[in-house]
Structure 1
Amino acid sequence: MQKLLVSQDLLIIDELGFVPLSKTGAELLFEVISQRYERGSMIITSNLPFDEWTEVFGSERLTGAILDRLTHHVHILEMNGESFRLRESRKAKS
Structure 2
Amino acid sequence: MERLFQVLTEREEKSSVAIASNESFSGWTRTVTHPRLCAAIVERLTFAGNIIETGTDSYRLAQTRAGAEQAG
Q: TM-score range by the shorter chain?
A: 0.7 to 0.9
SS in 2 for 1:33: helix
Q: Is the 8 A contact 2:22 2:58 kept in 1?
A: no
* Structure 2, gaps ≥5 residues long: 63-72
Alpha-carbon separation, structure 1, partners of 2:57 and 2:32: 27
Larger RCO (alpha carbons 8 Å, 6+ apart): 2
What stretches of structure 1 of length at least 5 have no aligned partner?
1-25, 87-94
From the superposition, tell whether residues 51 and 82 of structure 1 become closer, same or farther in structure 2 (CA, over 3 Å): closer
TM-score, structure 1 as length reference: 0.58
Shift of 1:84: 5.2
Larger strand proportion of the pair:
1
Amino acid corresponding to residue 39 of structure 2 in structure 1: G
Aligned length: 62
Show CA shifts across 1:35-54 (max 9, x none): 11111101110000000111
Judged with a 3 Å threshold, the aligned counterparts in structure 2 of structure 1 residues 69 and 80 are, in CA distance, closer, same or farther, namely: same
Aligned to 1:28: 3
Determine if the alignment matches structure 1 residue 46 to structure 2 residue 13: no
More helix by share: 2
- CA RMSD, 1 decimal: 1.9
Q: Tell whether 2:57 aligns with 1:75.
A: no
Partner SS state of residue 42, structure 1:
coil
TM-score by length of 2: 0.74
Paired residue type of 1:73: A
The structure-2 alpha-carbon separation of the partners of 1:83 and 1:52, relative to structure 1 and needing over 3 Å to count, comes to: closer
Could you tell me the percent identity over the aligned residues? 39
